[in-house]
Amino acid sequence: MSVNELFKKDLKVVNIGLKSFYNDLKSQNLTAVHVNWKPKAGGKTRMVSLLDKLKKMN
């Protein structure tokens, strides 16, 4: 499917990341689903390093 064809279709959005993007789309009555996703360990670098240490044991 070409990009031009894509833009002629109804927009259906899967939002990953900031929920405000999803809320904005919903407020405009667009079809959207929000993926409940967070960066690993919430982005806490100390926790990421601890988890990585355990993964490296293998």
Partner 1 sequence: MENLIEKANQQVLEIIQNARPTLIGLGIAGEVIPGMEKNLFLHAGPPVTWERMSGPMRGAVMAGLIYEGFASTPEEAAKVAASGKIRFEPCHHHQSVGPMAGVVTSSMPVWIIENTTYGNKAFCTLNEGLGKVLRFGAYGEEVITRLKWMEAVLYPVLKEAIAIHGPIDLKNMIAQGVQMGDEVHNRNKASTSLLIREIASSIVKTSFSDEDKVKVFDFLNSNDHTYLNLSMPAAKASLDPAGGVKYSTIVYTMARNGTDFGIRVAGLGDRWFTAPAEIINGLYFPGFTMDDANPDIGDSCITETLGIGGFSMATAPAIVQFVGGTPKDAMRYTTSMYEITTEESKAYKLPPLNFRGAPTGIDIRKVVETQILPVINTGIAHKDPGVGQVGAGIVNPPMACFEQALEAYVKLLEDEGLVE
Which residue type, as a one-letter code, is found at position 36? N
How are the residues of the chain apportioned to helix, strand and coil, as percentages rounded to the nearest 5?
55, 15, 30
| Dist. CA 19–CA 25, nearest whole Å | 10
Number of chain positions touching partner 1 (CB under 8 A):
14
Binding mask 8-47 for partner 1 (x = CB under 8 A): ------------------------------x-xxx-x--x
Q: Compare residues 8 and 56 and give the one whose CB is closer to partner 1.
A: 56
User: What are the residues binding partner 1 (CB under 8 A)?
Assistant: 38, 40-42, 44, 47, 50-51, 53-58
